[in-house]
Structure 1
């Protein structure tokens, strides 16, 4: 059976985070090695590694936190902080549900274009390419998907936009070809506070089933700013978050690009 992901894909995912000057590289690499050494299934290892990447900004706000257990499920991680055993439940808030499927399809297209370029000459084309597309192009047809792959391939080879590619920007990368979206945020791209509150309510229902051996259990809600479906510019009606009721000892909302954190329950 063909894998739906690979170690190489994770390396490429990490490469984008390495461009972020906030990345705490050494602990991330150590935690990833610990996950590799665990008895988790490969798919679960991939998921845990991706979650640790999302928690990177959290570690900047809590530099003394030490993760001890990566293989647990409820909550996602066990850590030590100030002599306490802390359970950390991590969840992503999706701001644009309609973009989730589109983004998943685009990521597969990016991977196919990467393979074409790497097969031709990895050394020549290595780098991180940020692409912006014309607004009208179809993703629901395999024929159109192939055309998009070729437009991306030609744009990178010619160093200028071709076909559906509107803009292209390149950053250096030491090893591979990595293609991603250009993250231009809309000035009025709000994240409704109700989405955060609904997510907290869903997690509240599962709280009785979490590990009871921890001293405290924290909920960390992440907006993955490297995702078209998760990114936002501001939280609408932020004051509503102050009214939250939850058995979690602490609740935070975190965006992983600049590392801004909001304490919802302290």
Structure 2
């Protein structure tokens, strides 16, 4: 029976993690099944699954962490580690706010192109396609969107860049057609420490309302490197993070693609 709420974006994220060979497959699948079996609304299930994916790299640094409550809210998850009950609050730091709207439009464009190719011949075109576009494209205009979709469609069919597509490369995937942005689009630079500190201050204000039954409460700040809006190449003024004051017992910044972890507190 087809689910009422689509998991297409989540499946795409999983596929990208498989390509990077960082996915801890068995625990992720176990946690996703547990979320599916919960009484959460489908949209909340999708959100929780996405959050667990962001924490995949975190599990590599803390392999003994076992998540017990996947559906709580304040904090986002409750886990156990070395006989301690740990609350984990997860939040994403957005590095390029102006990219957020554009990325949303771009993901819709990708999905429309994926549907066209899958309807034509999924077996022939299956794979993950990383695209780079010509400069100054307008992704919000409906007319321009149709032209971009057509350019993507033709580029993948011909296996060479066409129209609005500047560069294309393909990686193997055994199931479907997935389209995403190229990683070296030169849009990303520094992540200012002030953005991380501002996020911590906002979470500090909510700390009194978190579950007080846990032994410790950790804050995990994630830069989602699969997102145009979150990517960065280095953290500027990193030494300022040593000045952070917070009631959280531990604070980490996590880059989820290669798994780089910064211990802030």
Q: TM-score range by the shorter chain?
A: over 0.9
Q: Distance in 2 between matches of 1:34 and 1:74?
A: 19
- Deviation for aligned residue 1:188: 7.0
- Residue pair 2:223, 2:231 contacting (<8 A) in 1 also: yes
Q: Distance in 1 between matches of 2:139 and 2:264?
A: 38
Q: Distance in 1 between matches of 2:233 and 2:194?
A: 16
1:23 corresponds to which residue? Answer: 23
Deviations 1:94-120 (A, max 9, x none): 000000110011000000000000000
Change (3 A) 1:185 1:118: closer
TM superposition score normalised by structure 2? 0.97
**Match of 2:63, SS?**
coil
TM superposition score normalised by structure 1? 0.96
Deviations 1:146-170 (A, max 9, x none): 1100000000001010111000000
Question: 1:185-204 to 2 correspondence within 5 Å?
Answer: 186=186, 189-204=189-204
**Match of 1:106, SS?**
helix
Q: Distance in 2 between matches of 1:258 and 1:220?
A: 16
Deviations 1:16-35 (A, max 9, x none): 11111121111111110111
Q: Distance in 1 between matches of 2:186 and 2:156?
A: 26
How many residues align? The count is: 263
2:216 corresponds to which residue? Answer: 216
**Match of 1:130, SS?**
strand
**Match of 2:100, SS?**
helix
Q: Distance in 1 between matches of 2:90 and 2:225?
A: 15
The gaps in structure 1 that reach 5 residues or longer are none
**Match of 2:20, SS?**
coil
Q: Distance in 2 between matches of 1:116 and 1:29?
A: 29
**Match of 1:19, SS?**
helix
Q: What's the RMSD between the two structures over aligned residues?
A: 1.4
Compare 68-77 and 136-145 and name the one that shifted more.
136-145
Question: Are residue 64 (structure 1) and residue 71 (structure 2) matched?
Answer: no
2:181 corresponds to which residue? Answer: 181
Question: 1:84-123 to 2 correspondence within 5 Å?
Answer: 84-123=84-123
- Deviation for aligned residue 1:174: 0.8
- Residue pair 2:132, 2:185 contacting (<8 A) in 1 also: no
1:40 corresponds to which residue? Answer: 40
- Deviation for aligned residue 1:56: 0.5
